[in-house]
Amino acid sequence: MTTSATLGRASGPAISVRGLEKAYGELQVLRGVDLDVAQGDIVALLGSNGAGKTTAVKILSTLLKADAGTATVDGHDVGSEPASVRGSISLTGQFAAVDEILTGRENLLLVGRLRHLADPGTVADDLLARFSLTGAGGRRVATYSGGMRRRLDIAMSLIGDPSVIFLDEPTTGLDPQARLEVWDAVKRLAAGGATVLLTTQYLDEAEQLADRIAILHEGRIIAEGTLAQLKRLFPPTEVTYVEKQPTLEEIFLAITSGTNTSASAKEN
Amino acid sequence: MTRSSSGLGNGLGDTVVLVRRSLTHILRSPDTIITTAITPVAMMLLFVYVFGGALDTGSDDYVSYLLPGILLITVASGISYTAYRLFMDMQGGIFERFQSMPIARSSVLWAHVVTSVVANLVSVTIVVLVALGMGFRSGADVLAWIAVVGIVALFTLALTWLAVIPGLTAKSVDGVSGFSYPLIFLPFVSSAFVPTGSMPGPVRAFAEHQPVTSIVDTIRSLFAEQAVGTDVWVALAWCVGLLAVAYGLAMATYRRRIS
């Protein structure tokens, strides 16, 4: 995790949101969201189910119109210049937005052609290799595991070098192994210099991936900062000594990635 | 990764890319075309070989009499797959991916519409081939055939835009396919199977003033090398009017969906 977010920048923020409001009928989902995301940062929008994370991402990616407030992405206003915003971003929605009937490679080619790349084939092969999907590239996506789909989904989001990437709950519904694969993929996105806004309801995910964390609660950002800054909001930690037990996740991963002998021993 | 071009002039190119995608879907599940053709073919067999002997249509060639109506039924059942494919895109999230990309947004809908016209024309061709096997003959010249294809394509286009509405709004797969049943039923209350003259007053009035009758009569005249008269203008007016209304409603639904 870097602390680059605290450094000053010459250019403006990659995402700037002021007083964003959105209601679905009577239900007020966003009640004045303010948020700035510096270029090249990974920011986690943390909130429980129904906090409005997806609504915020949809407004920023021009899929929804806000009722009030302003938002700019890469310097373009989402309300008045949606086409320019779409030229700067990519969205990986809550459900893997892949074409099940096409193969993994065809999915990448499809996006490459829609982005008018000169050589979509090379880009597709390169991404398949980067996301460890080369072997599966020729298979229909319907046969993929959840983690593979998500990896393909994220790979599709990278085509055309978008400067801002939105990831809406990238690991929801994935098993622990697939979750680690996706985390790894997200970390590599940031290494490429893109700005990433990801939403999550998992605290550890925000902790693992994000330079900065914004907590969305009841339609407002109630806290924002680096993990260290957020920790300082709470009373000083009390030091106690506890025997370290392996977590269930560590046990699960150790067993499932172990040798076949341990698995067969369990069966007998 | 370099972009070879950008800008708004790519609407057509984007549509072509997306049409290729949905045609690939159809090629990988050709059953959608087969099942579209099977029901009309079964109806044709039933009416020609079971009911046909007892029906007095004033024509000794019932297959040829029946075929225009069967073609419209083929289209009416075929467009429900268009609604289904659009619905699946909405469910899966790939629709949102396309909508958040720098492409001409309308190309997503147009791709489904163009695919629908292509797929339905293939199904219609299959039905015509079966009809030929059952004794359908026409001395129509190339121009008359072009006119038939044109009217069927226009009818398909109009019904497809209608199918876009449930595709965008349906909450379940059942809701998607349900809308096409009344459309499939419409040819039964028209001149498609029996002359409207045999129907009781109110039914006859409905049959003679609904779109299917004028379209069926036009296609039938074209096949029989007879003058189409005013039927063709009534048929075209119905198709174009239906197309305009369906397109307007579909686009309004679409705009509501993305705001």
Q: What is the pLDDT of residue B239?
A: 92
- Cβ neighbours of A98 in B, within 8 Å: 92, 94
Q: What distance in Å separates the CA atoms of residue B255 and residue A99, rounded to the nearest whole number?
A: 24
What tokens were used for B97? 């991916």
Burial per residue of A132-169, b for 16 or more beta-carbon CB atoms within 10 angstroms, e otherwise: ebeebbeebbeebebbbbbbbbbbbbbbbbbbbbbbbb
Q: Which of A58, A89, A116 to mutate to test the interface with B (most CBs of B within 10 A)?
A: A116
Note the pLDDT of residue A267: 44
Region B207-233 average pLDDT? 86
Q: A224 in helix, strand or coil?
A: strand
Q: Please, which residues have CB within 8 angstroms of residue A40's CB and are 6 or more apart in sequence?
A: A4, A14, A190, A193, A194, A195
Is the CB of B100 less than 8 angstroms away from the CB of A113? no
Give me the pLDDT at residue A4, please. Answer: 39
A93–B93 CB contact, under 8 Å: yes
Structural domains present in chain A: 4-240 (3.40.50.300)
Spell out the domain ranges in chain B: 12-257
> In the structure encoding, which two tokens stand for residue B159, read together?
């019904």
Residues from A in contact with B at Cβ < 8 Å? 58, 61-65, 83, 86-87, 89-102, 106, 110-111, 113-118, 123, 156, 159-161
Residue B30 sits at the chain A interface (C-beta within 8 Å): no
| CA torsion through residues A238, A244, A247, A253, sign | positive
The arrangement of strands across the sheet holding A42-46 comes to: A89-92, A164-168, A195-200, A42-46, A212-217, A220-225
Q: Mean pLDDT, consecutive 10-residue segments, chain A of 268 residues? A: 39 85 87 89 86 89 89 90 90 84 94 91 91 90 88 88 89 81 81 86 86 88 84 70 75 68 44
3-state secondary structure A7-20: CCCCCCCCEEEEEE
Quote the CA–CA distance of A15 and A212 in Å, as a whole number: 13
Chain A CA closest to residue B104 = A83
Q: What share of chain B is helix, strand, coil (3-state, %, to 5)?
A: 80, 0, 20
At residue A208, the pLDDT reads 85
Nearest residue in chain B measured CA to CA from A87: B102
| DSSP 3-state of A225 | strand
Q: Is A235 helix (H, G, I), strand (E, B) or coil?
A: coil
In this prediction, residues B215-232 reach a mean pLDDT of 86
Mean pLDDT over the full length of chain B: 85
- CB-CB under 8 Å, A110 with B1: no
**pLDDT top residue among B35 and B68:** B68
Q: Which residue has the higher pLDDT, A4 or B52?
A: B52
Nearest to A93 among B13, B17, B97 (CB): B97
Cβ–Cβ gap A97/B2 under 8 Å: no
- Whether residue B151 is predicted with pLDDT greater than 90 in this model: the reply is yes
CA–CA distance, A82 with A68 (Å, rounded to integer): 16
Residues with Cβ < 8 Å from A161, sequence gap 6 or more?
A194, B1
Task: Tell me how far apart the alpha carbons of residues A149 and A167 are, in angstroms, rounded to a whole number.
Answer: 14
Nearest CA-CA distance, residue B96 and chain A, Å: 7
Residue A18: partners with Cβ closer than 8 Å, 6 or more residues away: A34, A69, A70, A71
| H and E: helices and strands count for chain A | 10, 10
Q: Do B1 and A114 touch (CB under 8 A)?
A: no
- Quote the minimal CA–CA distance from B73 to chain A in Å: 28
Contact yes or no for B101 and A97 at CB 8 A: no
CB B19 within 8 A of CB B115: yes
Query: Cα angle at B29 between A94 and B96, to 5 degrees?
Result: 20
What gap in Å lies between CA A121 and CA A116, rounded to an integer? 12
Task: Please list every residue in chain A whose beta carbon sits closer than 8 Å to the beta carbon of residue B14.
Answer: 114
Q: By three-state DSSP, how is residue A217 classified?
A: strand
Q: How many CA atoms lie within 13 A of A3 on its CB side?
A: 4
> Which of B6, B28, B94 has its CB closest to that of A116?
B6
Residue B100 contacts A where some CB pair is shorter than 8 Å = yes
Quickly count helices (H) and strands (E) in chain B. 11, 0
Q: Which has more confidence, B98 or A5? A: B98
Q: How many CA atoms lie within 13 A of B193 on its CB side?
A: 19
Q: Which is it for strands A15-24 and A27-37: parallel, antiparallel or unpaired?
A: antiparallel
**B26 CA to chain A: closest CA distance, Å?**
10
Question: Which residue from A8, A36, A77 is spatially nearest to A221, judged by alpha carbons?
Answer: A36
Which residues are bridge partners to A70 per DSSP? A18
Task: Please state, as a whole number, how many other Cβ atoms lie within 10 Å of the Cβ of residue B49.
Answer: 12
Exposed/middle/buried for B41, CB within 10 Å: 0-12, 13-18, 19+?
buried
CB B131 within 8 A of CB B147: no
Candidates B1, B24, B259; nearest CB to A123:
B1
Q: How far is A114 from chain B (nearest CA, A)?
A: 6
Nearest to A116 among B4, B24, B92 (CB): B4
pLDDT value of residue A185: 81
Per-residue pLDDT, A261: 46
Which of A87, A90, A118 shows the shortest C-beta gap to B4? A118
Residues of B within 8 A of A97 (CB-CB) are 92-94, 96-97
Which tens digit of pLDDT belongs to each residue from A24-72?
A: 888 888 888 898 998 888 999 988 887 888 899 999 999 888 899 899 9
Set of chain B residues whose Cβ sits within 8 Å of the Cβ of A160: 1, 3, 102
Q: Is A91–B97 a contact, with Cβ atoms under 8 angstroms apart?
A: yes
Total beta-carbon pairs less than 8 A apart between chain A and chain B: 86
CA distances from A127 to A107, A131, A170, A179, B100 (A): 11, 6, 18, 19, 20
Average pLDDT rounded to a whole number, residues B160-178: 87
> Nearest Cβ partner of A86 from B5, B25, B102?
B102
User: What confidence score (pLDDT) does residue B244 get?
Assistant: 95
- B90 CB neighbours in chain A (<8 A) are none
Chain A contact present for B5, CB below 8 A = yes
